[in-house]
Structure 1
Amino acid sequence: MKNLSFEIEINATAEKVWDAMWTEENYRKWTSAFCEGSYAKSSWKQGERIHFLDPNGNGMYSEITTLVPNEKMFFTHLGNIKNLEEQPIDEETKAWSGAQENYTVISNGATSKVIVTMDIVEEYANFFSESFPKGLATIKEIAENKL
């Protein structure tokens, strides 16, 4: 697995950035950089499962391993979802099960920095290297009230 890291400076408070990232409407906006119509189903509580889904009900399930509002949201990816159902871990899934995807917001008063680190299977590294900056740019637009 490969580790990727992305960051962006945003002219908004950590609270505004957090809202831009994790409220349902905003989450759908910025994650469209990866898949149009993608969304998440979750209680948004530490230790709980989260389903990352495409419009067809396919995606992955993960655990929210760390959640500190306005500061950190860390996920551990576990397995695939097909037709809204969690799938058993198979040989293909074993290659990435346990991968981390971590979001950190560092407040500097009226500005914030978002840092994303993620473990990724090599074959998807180029896709995320191209897509993630677009998603972060959308978060910036939302937080700075330009979207």
Structure 2
Amino acid sequence: MEKINFTINIIAPKEKVWKILWEDATYQKWTAVFSEGSRAKSDWKEGSKVHFVNENDDGMYSLIDKCVENEIMNFKHLGNVKNGVELPLDETTESWNGSMEKYALVDTDNGTSLNLEMDILEDYLDYFNEKFPLALNIVKELSEN
């Protein structure tokens, strides 16, 4: 498992960036980079599950490992979802089960620094190194407008 990190500076308060990241309408806009029709089903509370799915309700499920509103959102990825149903672990999901995806918002002199750290399998490094900067630029654009 590899770690990748991304940081983007956004000229907006962290409260606005937080809303852009996690409210349904804007979440769907920035995550469309990964899969058209992406959405998240969750109450966004620490300890709750979240289903990250496409228009067919296929995707992955995770645990909100830590949530400090307007500051930190950490996900612990657990397994796959098919047609909205959590699947049992198999050899493939066991290879990334427990991997983390961590978002941190930090005040800066002119706005917010959005920092992302993610555990990733080597096979997906190129994909996420290409897609995450595009997604974070959408977060920046939505937050600054």
TM over 0.5, yes or no?
A: yes
Q: What is the CA–CA distance in structure 1 between the aligned matches of 2:58 and 2:124, rounded to whole Å?
A: 17
Unpaired runs of 5+ residues, structure 2, are none
Identify the residue that residue 26 of structure 1 maps to in structure 2. 26
1:97 equivalent in alignment to 2:97: yes
TM superposition shift of 1:35: 0.7
Per-residue CA distance 1:93-132 (angstroms, 9 max, x = gap): 1100000000000012541000000001111111000000
Structure 1: 4+ residue segments shifted above 4 A = none
| Contact 1:62–1:78 (Cα < 8 Å) also in 2 | yes
1:15 equivalent in alignment to 2:50: no
Aligned residues: 145
1:39 equivalent in alignment to 2:39: yes
Q: What are the within-5 Å matches in structure 2 for residues 29-108 of structure 1? A: 29-108=29-108
* Counterpart AA for 2:79: G
Percent identical among aligned pairs is 46
Q: CA RMSD in A?
A: 0.8
Q: What is the CA–CA distance in structure 2 between the aligned matches of 1:60 and 1:4, rounded to whole Å?
A: 19
Q: What is the CA–CA distance in structure 2 between the aligned matches of 1:20 and 1:83, rounded to whole Å?
A: 27
Per-residue CA distance 1:21-44 (angstroms, 9 max, x = gap): 111101000001111110000011
Q: Structure 2 length normalisation: TM-score?
A: 0.98
* Counterpart AA for 1:54: N
Q: Structure 1 length normalisation: TM-score?
A: 0.96
Q: What is the CA–CA distance in structure 2 between the aligned matches of 1:129 and 1:57, rounded to whole Å?
A: 25
Unpaired runs of 5+ residues, structure 1, are none
* Counterpart AA for 1:73: M
